[in-house]
Structure 1
Amino acid sequence: MKIKNILSLLLLITNICTFAQDMPAWKKAHMPDSNDWKKVEQHFVFNNSAEPKSLDSGVISGLLEFRLIECMFEGLVSMDPETLVPRPGIANKWNISKDGLTYTFYLRKNAKWSNGRTVTAHDFYKSWIRILDGSIAAPYNYQLFYIVGAEDFSKAKNKSSFDMKKIGVNVIDDFTLEVKLKNPTAYFLDIVAFPTLYAVPLETVKAYGDKWILPENIVTNGPFHLQKWDRRQKIVMVKSKTYWDAKYVKLEKITALAIERVETAYKKFLNKGMHWQPSVPESKIDEVKKLPEYYQTDTLATSFYRFNCKKAPFDKAEVRRAFAMATDRKTLAKHVLHDIPTPANWFCPPAAGYIHVKGLDYNPAKARKILKDAGVITKGLAVEITFNTSETHKLIAEFISKNWENNLGVKVILKNMEWKTYLSNMTSMNYEVMRGGWYGDYNDPNTFFDMWTEGNGNNRTGWVNKKYDTLLFASQKETDKAKRMILFQQMEIILIKEELPILPLFIPANKGLLSEQVNGYYHNIFGFHPLKYIWLEKE
């Protein structure tokens, strides 16, 4: 019996050593230095701020949904949690042709769905076609338009007669997927790592419809699996037994809370009821900054308001310009938001070295003249600002409403909505002015400019400008970096000086609270923190 135990122990040690030896250097760098973490319960709790709209990667568009999807699913490519360099995911390697137009992905043969079925190239092909065929409302379908024929298929009126061979996605065999692009796209691997391009288990989707994402039905292929979903309370995930890289995953359980009130979440964090709170109460920022758990970092993001360009009075560009010039961004950033964000009358942050153009300055007198010249009578005019539940969003809306009331003489009505209702109203364009925010999907200005083209699922302003669209498409074909940047600047002039379908406000900072127990978490400009790499140490 003793000999048997010794042999078992030696076999275990051998397996551990083999696992470590087979691990690439970049991955070893994200491992614990010792085994002390194994003495701590690996149950990570964080606040995800609201009830998610869905767990279907094809229909989501919000950061809080992306956090959950990245736990339960994995794409062909993943991202390094520290450097954001593309890393192997379901594909263990890929080749790129010399002309940058053909990508060949080689899937690992041990990648499994949670029902035991092997993940294949067919899963990705069919999932991508689902994004394009109109069977679901996919706001990010344009992420596939880089592929030959994808946009033509998506916009085809008669899809049943479309020649699918014209789409540049070919299943070579069960474990090889070939993708052909219209133009060389340096950030295409970043696109492939984006949740919209994850595979979903279509047999499960077909069997259960919209209910396929429920705990009793869902099939996943990522490091964690959905165990429980208490609506408006929490989502519980557990380590997946079928994930190809399960040995690397340290956390055994994750609880994502849906606490909308930042003050409530803050108190829970102070009482050690969670490990991560991705926002802080503005009213207590001075107190919060003194905590050792507080962090504040730069982000590749922008905050703005959308105008509904289909509704009066914001169907006129001159009216939108006037309201922009009646907004005091500097005071908002300094006194309401405690001098943390950068006030911005521009839209695009410095993605890949981009230099923004200057927008419209604060000038209430000129704003009033613009409205008068346009024949707009502000007395008795009421406008609505809609925002999702958040102390910070409320403070911003209150400040801007006072700006507009004092500077323009209009009445402003504030409408607060919970997350799912807010998203629904944005999609249906049931608003006049609405809070907006955007995190870059990859480090290139294109991620900030392509969303405003006609028909884009993330536009949601009703604004269309043919000149803008032409410039955007030209930028996607241009290979000279300097010339591309000039095209982006020309787009930004249209966006924030001439037409203003949006009102730029500020470039936010990423701030929150992180327990000192948490390891494997790296601050980066995308706010990307895959929990596969996280573990907990003793306090």
Structure 2
Amino acid sequence: MKRSFIVIMSLLLVIALLITGCVPKGGDEVKEPTDTPSTDSSATPPSESKKEAKILRTNNGSEPGSLDPALAQGTHESWVLDHTFEGLMKIDPDLKVVPGMAEEYMISDDSLTYTFTLRDDIKWSNGDSVTAHDFEFAWKRALDPELASDYAHQLYYIKGGEAYNTGEGTVDDVLVKALDDKTLEVTLEAPTAYFLELTAFYTLYPVNKKVVESDPDWAKNASTHVSNGPFTLTEWEHNATIKIRKNENYYDSASVKLDGVDFDIIDDENTTWQKYEGGDYDFLTPLPQAVVAQMKDNNNPELIIGAEVGTYYYNLNSKVKPFNNIKVRRGLSMTLDRQTIVDKIAQGGQIAAEGVVPFGLPDENGKEYRDAVGKLVEYNVEEGKKLFLEGLAEEGMKIEDFKNIVILYNTSEAHKKIAQAAQEMWRVNLGIEIQLENVDFQVKLDREKAGDYHISRAGWIGDYMDPITFIELWESNSSFNDAKYNSPEYDQLVKIAKTSPDPNERFDAMRKAEQIVMEDMPIVPVYFYTQPYAQKSYVTGVYKPLVNYPKLTYADINK
């Protein structure tokens, strides 16, 4: 798209400015080339002051279920939210957790009370001031049991948060309080080393109290959506496109080079790759696996293998026979050839899973957590088949009964190929025939929550840099425990890991918990993620945090 700028000067001054490279910037809204520009009643000749707007074009693989931070639950939502909202803290281009909406913070000597002082110059996209009251309102709203936020547990670290969310306390018991417009005080249940990083996570983003209270449907359409980040939502054609534009009210807008980002919503990776190759996109993730392999072989400079802390796995619904049987679950895990999947199918530098917690997370000594836990999964066809057949017999089932078992996955060529590989491996190694079913991502998420599946493809990207972000998933009351796993011993270890002030005790608890869940095998880990993406040579300034999709906030286009 192009942008016309109105120059309220004489023709000679315009020419002088252009010669020196000083082109005045127009208003907030980016216009199409056919729009008639005006900042006053005078008109500028079409041949003068036209400038191409910097709109980065890409794809968001699925329709967001919600662009309300409290209700979002996946990367198909968070990638947009991370560019339209900002928390008290944020992850900067150096991958450090730094103040965002907060200007500074203080932590009490006992590490239980955090006092945040907000910046003076922060505003919502509608011009309202962002206040500490907005944060208090947003966090208590996310904990409100009536809202039914899947991510409410991320606020359980706040004293009184879990009690309120589970109906055992009241909102007044939640110790987050705006002391004034600029000061937010938060008291935690126990010292939490990663709490500052957690405030950069989207569930803890603020929402505009006045807007939300006046319009319950504020987040469903661009016309009513209000945010506080570097970009603002200007268009949302559901299941088709999302457009965000630079938020001139953002305190650091001078550092934002893009005028906006256009997201298509297309779930077919081959289609999106063709659009990238054809010049319709400037940036693209994810990529078809065959394309990643080819780009790697050709040393294509547009391919970037982004580091990521995440695990790709299959849920086994333990409420449905025969997946209630540990031998069946272990048999399926032991007969899945993970190395072949990463080498021959995924082909993006992924690592065959050794447990549920991926590499890249530090332990209590700042060393690699994974090293001390070791490899907790194995490929052993003979033992796996023995266990599988024993488990089937215990459930009164036969191999033939598996013909009605279905692997559920969200529509994606990559997920399809991996599911086909698992289907074939289990056919060859166990003699079973399993069916495949693909659905829209949000439909998959909804069916998992309802327990309406047998085996489902899943993945988890860490929310912050601590192993508990994975370990807590299979706590019996976790809203993301889609495998319906239940182990009192495991729950107790998770509780210790979340509440102990002793780093050694909490990491020992996490290591023991991971060993238990990998013995019971309610899920089948497949591989540890990377995030390959394609980026045109003229795009700069993109950075990739380990726990986020690529950040486009400070990207630039220089054609």
TM-score of the two chains, using structure 1 as the length reference: 0.88
Report the equivalent of 1:337: 346
Specify whether residues 396 and 306 from structure 1 end up closer, same or farther in structure 2 by C-alpha distance, changes over 3 A only: same
1:221 and 1:332 map into 2 onto residues whose CA distance is 42
| 1:316 matched to 2:325 | yes
Aligned CA RMSD, in angstroms, stands at 2.3
Of residues 52, 73, 83, the one that matches 1:71 is: 83
| 1:517 matched to 2:538 | yes
Specify whether residues 447 and 109 from structure 1 end up closer, same or farther in structure 2 by C-alpha distance, changes over 3 A only: same
Of residues 248, 258, 261, the one that matches 1:251 is: 258
| One-letter amino acid matched to 1:358 | K
2:70 and 2:144 map into 1 onto residues whose CA distance is 12
2:341 and 2:553 map into 1 onto residues whose CA distance is 38
| 1:134 matched to 2:145 | yes
Specify whether residues 454 and 516 from structure 1 end up closer, same or farther in structure 2 by C-alpha distance, changes over 3 A only: same
Residue deviations 1:99-156 (CA, integer Å, cap 9, x gap): 2111101112321122222111111111111111112221111111111111111112
Number of paired residues? Answer: 503
Q: Cα offset for 1:40? A: 5.8
Report the equivalent of 2:358: 349
Consecutive unaligned residues in structure 2, runs of 5 or more: 1-8, 26-49, 363-367
Asked if structure 1 preserves the Cα contact closer than 8 Å seen for 2:132 and 2:182, the reply is yes
Report the equivalent of 1:188: 195
1:184 and 1:256 map into 2 onto residues whose CA distance is 40
Q: Cα offset for 1:273? A: 1.0
Asked if structure 1 preserves the Cα contact closer than 8 Å seen for 2:354 and 2:375, the reply is yes
Percent of paired sites with the same residue:
32
Consecutive unaligned residues in structure 1, runs of 5 or more: 17-37
Q: Cα offset for 1:39? A: 7.0
1:474 and 1:486 map into 2 onto residues whose CA distance is 9
Q: Cα offset for 1:528? A: 4.2
How is 1:68-467 mapped onto 2 (pairs within 5 angstroms)?
68-83=80-95, 85-157=96-168, 162=170, 164-210=171-217, 212-289=219-296, 290=298, 291-338=300-347, 340-350=349-359, 351-352=361-362, 353-355=368-370, 356-374=373-391, 375=393, 376-382=397-403, 383-467=405-489
SS of alignment partner, residue 215 of structure 2: helix
1:372 and 1:256 map into 2 onto residues whose CA distance is 48
Q: Cα offset for 1:404? A: 1.5
| One-letter amino acid matched to 2:185 | E
Q: Cα offset for 1:347? A: 1.2
Residue deviations 1:392-445 (CA, integer Å, cap 9, x gap): 100000010111222222220101011221121122221111111111111111
Specify whether residues 469 and 394 from structure 1 end up closer, same or farther in structure 2 by C-alpha distance, changes over 3 A only: same
Report the equivalent of 1:52: 64
Q: Cα offset for 1:386? A: 0.5
Q: Cα offset for 1:81? A: 2.6
Q: Cα offset for 1:93? A: 1.2
Deviates further, 237-246 or 441-450: 237-246
Q: Cα offset for 1:64? A: 2.2
| One-letter amino acid matched to 2:79 | R
Residue deviations 1:135-184 (CA, integer Å, cap 9, x gap): 22211111111111111111125x5xx3x443221221111000011221
Q: Cα offset for 1:211? A: 5.1
Specify whether residues 485 and 184 from structure 1 end up closer, same or farther in structure 2 by C-alpha distance, changes over 3 A only: same
SS of alignment partner, residue 386 of structure 1: strand
SS of alignment partner, residue 434 of structure 2: strand
Q: Cα offset for 1:339? A: 7.0
SS of alignment partner, residue 469 of structure 2: helix
TM-score of the two chains, using structure 2 as the length reference: 0.85
Report the equivalent of 1:32: none
Of residues 486, 490, 511, the one that matches 2:512 is: 490
1:329 and 1:530 map into 2 onto residues whose CA distance is 30
1:264 and 1:535 map into 2 onto residues whose CA distance is 25
1:118 and 1:340 map into 2 onto residues whose CA distance is 45
| One-letter amino acid matched to 1:338 | Q
Specify whether residues 312 and 120 from structure 1 end up closer, same or farther in structure 2 by C-alpha distance, changes over 3 A only: same
SS of alignment partner, residue 210 of structure 1: coil
1:469 and 1:125 map into 2 onto residues whose CA distance is 29
| One-letter amino acid matched to 2:68 | D
1:248 and 1:284 map into 2 onto residues whose CA distance is 34
Q: Cα offset for 1:269? A: 0.9
Deviates further, 481-490 or 428-437: 481-490
1:241 and 1:525 map into 2 onto residues whose CA distance is 28
1:303 and 1:138 map into 2 onto residues whose CA distance is 23
| One-letter amino acid matched to 1:70 | D
| 1:473 matched to 2:495 | yes
1:325 and 1:165 map into 2 onto residues whose CA distance is 49
Asked if structure 2 preserves the Cα contact closer than 8 Å seen for 1:82 and 1:523, the reply is no
1:193 and 1:479 map into 2 onto residues whose CA distance is 22
